[in-house]
Structure 1
Amino acid sequence: IEDKAGNMYKVDTGSSVTASSGVVAAYTSGSAAAMALSKAAYATDAANGLTSTANPLTAIDAALKKVDDLRGTLGAVQNRFDSTISNLGTTINNLTSSRSRIEDADYATEVSNMSRAQILQQAGTSVLAQANQTTQGVLSLLR
């Protein structure tokens, strides 16, 4: 992790925080948390261009704040992904429903067209039967 001043920190979630200047803060959990610093004093390492702070707790606090900031950012991204997934699920349901309504409308239209064709066919057969009866009636009168 790098803070705003450019200092690098390595945070090990198991047991330690290491600053770029070589300071290690180790802790143990329990009723009495103990903190031991591997170096008592900080100095500027001119050869590597690393600077350290005069207060090791400030470095640790800065590293923990950075971790908190990163966790907050990660949480926000995760919430956006969850929201996007939820919105996509709703969109899929809406599209499926719309498609179903369109297909149902086409089915209803086709059934209506088939019923119309059947009625026209029956009417045509009925008219033809009446026309045949009329000619047979005329022929029977002529006999």
Structure 2
Amino acid sequence: SFNLTGVKESGSHAPGDDFFSDNSEVGNTLTITESTSGTVGGSIVFDSAKSYTVTAPDANAIFDDTDAHGSSLSDVGSIDIGSQTGANKAISVIDSALSFVDGLRADLGAVQNRFESTIANLQNVSENISASRSRILDADFAAETSNLTRSQILQQAGVAMLAQANQLPQTVLSLLQ
């Protein structure tokens, strides 16, 4: 595959020429004719702020090695829709622009989905942390309540034993009387 970046204004390419030898004049037209044919293996990527049109004498000529082929950039403002050819060209330019916008919307939609997923994940993490904190605080409260109850029971048992121990001498004295 090759990249057409740096093609000169109305420049053409002869077999063996280097597209990238002079990028000082970035233009908008590349013409490959019978005498300047080119073979591409793989894919050609067109990337520009303007739209592209690929023209040929007939629909099959794009894939025919004997006819002239052309690829040119078109600015929406320079399209004349007063003729059928111009209207078709306008539709082609608009379709290309819509495809480009659709691609951008798809990319932005994917980013938005990743953000929404991250937000949902962070909300879940926050909720789990709050629940964990609550369980820790509840566990400490329960442990302290249990310790208080234990201490109160031990205190009451101690008081009861002292009361019984204090009653024993009284019982002995009452028997002696």
- Give the TM-score normalised by structure 1: 0.63
Q: Identify the range of structure 1 (109-118 vs 35-44) with the bigger mean alpha-carbon deviation.
A: 35-44
**Which is worse superposed, 122-131 or 64-73?**
64-73
Q: CA deviation at 1:113?
A: 1.1
Who is 2:77 aligned against?
A: none
Q: Mark the runs of 5 or more structure 1 residues left unpaired by the alignment.
A: 1-9, 17-27
Residue matched to 1:36: 29
Q: Within 5 A, what are the aligned runs for 1:9-28?
A: none
**C-alpha distance after superposition, 1:27-73 (max 9, x if no partner):** x899xx8422314861324659xxx89x8744666444423321111
Question: When the two structures are aligned, how many residues end up with a matched partner?
Answer: 118
Aligned counterparts of 1:107 and 1:56: Cα–Cα separation in 2:
73
Partner of 1:136: 169
2:139 partner amino acid = D
Structure 1: which amino acid aligns with 2:130?
A: S
Task: Flag as ranges the 4+ runs of structure 1 deviating above 3 A.
Answer: 10-16, 45-48, 55-65
RMSD between superposed Cα atoms in Å? 3.7
1:97 maps to 130
Mark the CA change 1:95 to 1:80 in structure 2 (over 3 Å): closer, same or farther: same
Return the match for 1:67 from 100, 106, 109: 100
- The within-5 A match list for 1:75-94 is 75-94=108-127
Cα distance change of structure 1 residues 14 and 101 upon mapping to structure 2, 3 Å threshold: farther
Comparing 62-71 with 75-84, greater Cα deviation is found at 62-71
* TM-score, L = length of structure 2: 0.52
Distance apart, 1:138 and its partner CA? 1.9
Equivalent-residue separation in structure 2 for 1:70 and 1:78 (angstroms): 12
Which runs of 5 or more residues in structure 2 are unaligned? 8-22, 34-54, 75-88
Query: How do residues 102-121 of structure 1 correspond to structure 2 at under 5 angstroms?
Result: 102-121=135-154
Q: d(CA) in 2 for partners of 1:68 and 1:29?
A: 29
Distance 1:11 1:110, change over 3 A: farther
User: Structure 1 vs Structure 2: percent identity of aligned residues?
Assistant: 5
